[in-house]
Structure 1
Amino acid sequence: MTQTEALYYIQPPVGEFTARVLSCTQEGEAWAVTLDRTAFYPEGGGQPADRGTLGGADVLDVHEKGGQVVHRLSAPLTEGETVTGNVDLDRRLEMSQQHTGEHILSGTLHAMFGAENVGFHIGQDYLTMDTSVPISDEGLAEAEARANRVIWQNVPVEAVWHSKEELADLTYRSKKELEGPVRIVTVPGADCCACCGTHVERTGQVGMVKIIDWQNYKSGVRLFVVCGARALRYFEAQRAEAATIRATLSAKAGQLAEAVQRQSSELEAARYRSVQAENELFAVLAEGVQPGEAAILLRPNLGPDGLRRLCAALSERTTGLCAAFSPTGNGTLAYALACTAPGADLRGLCKQLNQVFAGRGGGKPGFVQGSLTGEFDAVQAFLRDVIQP
């Protein structure tokens, strides 16, 4: 089987090329096409495949199989004909920025902390990197700063194929044992790593690398990273979001954090006043309850805590069943049940309520809480029937 000549490693990247169609077979609603040569990078090493057109058909995916590059197309091509391919170079640049940025950051983390990159994937909005060791916030910040200094130095990115004999004299990163020929990508001052992906010609084309988030993952950390065009889009989205918040809070540029803290304090004070007002209302409602009788009430706009406090206020006046309900929309009711009578256990009643009214919830013997589907009048009638002596 003839291997496909790889044009996708040529620098500067090949945007348009011609090739001969070797085969074309239908696969579901798409066609699998092989060529004698191609500039479309096949998915591999954590990097998605190139996109574009081939012979006028959309390139939906590209993968490598047994040394041949298989193009998944939206329409068939004729075997033996010569076709023109057009690679989406904007997408290629974006993928190359992410991959090169990952190399620079991974190499820096390896040099600083001995961290191995044990997982890498370029997603739709960001790339993920998994390290073999934990790294602190301060360590990640310093590594990010060092990586960006390498980018701004605009050093050349070298990609060279080496034989098995040549590899024996090289020190490079690799996730597995490799045999030549192996493609080694070198970023002077940052990284030397075995890699099959596409890269920019000089580090300056990466623009910048930014860790936007991280989380503990297995024995190390998972980093969420954006580079180049993605970093610009990310920061523009952050800027637009901040502008919206500033407008909402009437805050000037540079004073957003202060405005948010002020708003938070005001909301907390308002929440406290609201709770106090509710408690006063609950006390008034409880005054109408006679000792020993059941109290079943419906009140709007009460959350779980409000329902609990209402039941607590009612329970101070009676040892009978105290039930509080509040509509939550779409025919559902949030509820809380309480009873302070000696030996009271509401869990059985809660179970019955959930079964009859398609509800869910639970709790302790003296207090249960949940939600159900039904009209308050029907639920009230059910409870009164159940608790009738």
Structure 2
Amino acid sequence: MQSTEKYYENDPYRTECAAHITAAQPLEGGGGRLALDGTVFYPEGGGQPADRGALTLESGETLTVSDVHEQDGVIWHTVDALPEAARPGAAVTARIDWAWRFDKMQQHTGEHILSGTLHRLFGAENVGFHIGAEAVRMDTSVPLTADQLRQAELEANQVIWQDAPVRVLYPTPQELARMTYRSKKEIAGQVRIVEIPGADTCACCGTHTATAGQVGLIKIIAAENYKGGVRLSVLCGQRALREVQTMQTRQGEIMALLSAKPSETANAVRRVHGELADLRYAHFGICAQLFDALAAAVNPGEDAIRIVPGLDPDGLHRLAVRLTEATGGLCAALTPTDKGCGYCLARREGDVRPLTRALNAALSGRGGGKPGVCQGSCAADPEAVAAFLRENAGV
């Protein structure tokens, strides 16, 4: 088949082109895929997602392009419909979603700048890269400290502020052999080099901004140890701006809740956290006293089914087990929830699992556990659960 001319390689800012269909294939389940003699659509590859957009036929009918892939030099455009007019030889106008494309250009160029900076400063190789829907994922070959990442982030943004040009080079084999660049792998045919002076030189097939300044901002938002290196989550350009705006909104909400100035929010959170820990400790002690009192009121050998509002799963478990210390009968701790009832069933000797299964089946419950203790929840209110248990305690 005729290879597709890649207009996006020489001009990533070109948003549309006239083209002719060279092949059309229906897809199972509807729609199809079209090959063109030339395209502005970037196919998925090199960690960069495919472009989105539309193909318009001469009749005016528009086909939505949802995915683009390259196979043996042919670029296939996945479309939502395959009308009879979309046949080989037909003329089409291809238009990309520019907002989608420019976002990927910002992310990809930002990744080059940051990866090149990490390599220059710390010898870190980029061993994994993907532009995700939320963030850019980057995997490094070596571990990096928080201070090292802050240094790299600062120096990467300094490249942006200097607005260095982003150059695309097509070196001869002899020139390539003399070049130092990242991603130096065996590549058949012409190698495409992307160069950002002072930041990075790398073999790459993706789309990039014309200058580093158009990246706008590079922000590392997360870092975790991964396979001997570090996995980074990075935002560039408009994504980074949106994150800063979101963080500012959250900061404002936290300041209002804590009645604290921006510089004092951390201390205010620590204070509230300490107060909460004290309350939890006091609550634990009060519950222990309550559970002791409830157990003291139980006669040996009788069933003990108690409803106590406000208990969490741990509290339910503690109460049920405490009741088993007072009686050999069925012990049940129940508490109302938004969706019905939380429960914990226990027995000093015997197996409460059959009763738990019966309870779940009868009252739309979920839960289980060991022979002596089972825990879960159901859709009925605590009173209905208590009535069921009294009638079926012998199960």
Superposition TM-score, scaled by structure 2 size = 0.85
Once the two structures are superposed, the pairs formed by residues 337-356 of structure 1 within 5 Å of their partners are 337=346, 339=348, 344=349, 349-356=351-358
- Whether 1:240 aligns to 2:249 is yes
* Residue of structure 1 equivalent to 2:32: 31
- Cα separation, 2, equivalents of 1:331 and 1:91: 46
Once the two structures are superposed, the pairs formed by residues 137-152 of structure 1 within 5 Å of their partners are 137-152=146-161
- Cα separation, 1, equivalents of 2:124 and 2:301: 68
AA aligned to 1:5 is: E
AA aligned to 2:48 is: Q
- Shift in CA distance, 243/175, structure 1 to aligned 2, threshold 3 Å: farther
1:268 to 268, 271, 277: 277
* Residue of structure 1 equivalent to 2:390: 380
Gaps of 5+ in 1: none
Shift of 1:183: 0.4
- Shift in CA distance, 313/159, structure 1 to aligned 2, threshold 3 Å: same
- Cα separation, 2, equivalents of 1:338 and 1:301: 23
SS at match of 2:76: strand
2:359 to 357, 360, 385: 357
- Shift in CA distance, 108/320, structure 1 to aligned 2, threshold 3 Å: same
- Cα separation, 2, equivalents of 1:301 and 1:110: 55
> Which deviations, in whole Å up to 9, do the C-alpha atoms of 1:178-233 show, x marking residues without a partner?
23310011111221111110011111111111111122222322111110011011
Once the two structures are superposed, the pairs formed by residues 1-389 of structure 1 within 5 Å of their partners are 1-11=1-11, 13-28=13-28, 29-55=30-56, 56-75=62-81, 76=83, 77-174=86-183, 176-291=185-300, 293-311=302-320, 313-314=322-323, 317-318=326-327, 322-328=331-337, 330-337=339-346, 339=348, 344=349, 349-358=351-360, 360-362=367-369, 368-371=373-376, 373=378, 375-383=385-393, 385=394
Shift of 1:30: 1.9
- Cα separation, 1, equivalents of 2:358 and 2:320: 22
> Which deviations, in whole Å up to 9, do the C-alpha atoms of 1:90-137 show, x marking residues without a partner?
222110110111111111222233222121111111111112222222
Which segment drifts farther, 232-241 or 258-267? 258-267
Which segment drifts farther, 22-31 or 130-139? 22-31
SS at match of 1:245: helix
Shift of 1:296: 3.0
Superposition TM-score, scaled by structure 1 size = 0.87
Please tell me whether the aligned partners of residues 20 and 36 of structure 1 are also in contact (alpha carbons under 8 angstroms): yes
SS at match of 1:182: coil
- Cα separation, 2, equivalents of 1:210 and 1:32: 37
- Cα separation, 2, equivalents of 1:264 and 1:200: 46
Please tell me whether the aligned partners of residues 334 and 341 of structure 2 are also in contact (alpha carbons under 8 angstroms): no
Please tell me whether the aligned partners of residues 361 and 371 of structure 1 are also in contact (alpha carbons under 8 angstroms): yes
- Cα separation, 2, equivalents of 1:380 and 1:165: 88
Which segment drifts farther, 263-272 or 140-149? 263-272
Residue identity (%): 47
> Which deviations, in whole Å up to 9, do the C-alpha atoms of 1:239-298 show, x marking residues without a partner?
222223333334444333233233323333333333333333323323322355543323
Please tell me whether the aligned partners of residues 34 and 69 of structure 1 are also in contact (alpha carbons under 8 angstroms): yes
User: What root-mean-square deviation, in Å, do the aligned CA atoms of Structure 1 and Structure 2 show?
Assistant: 2.6
- Shift in CA distance, 298/163, structure 1 to aligned 2, threshold 3 Å: same
Shift of 1:140: 1.8
Gaps of 5+ in 2: 57-61, 361-365
Which segment drifts farther, 206-215 or 352-361? 352-361
SS at match of 1:212: strand
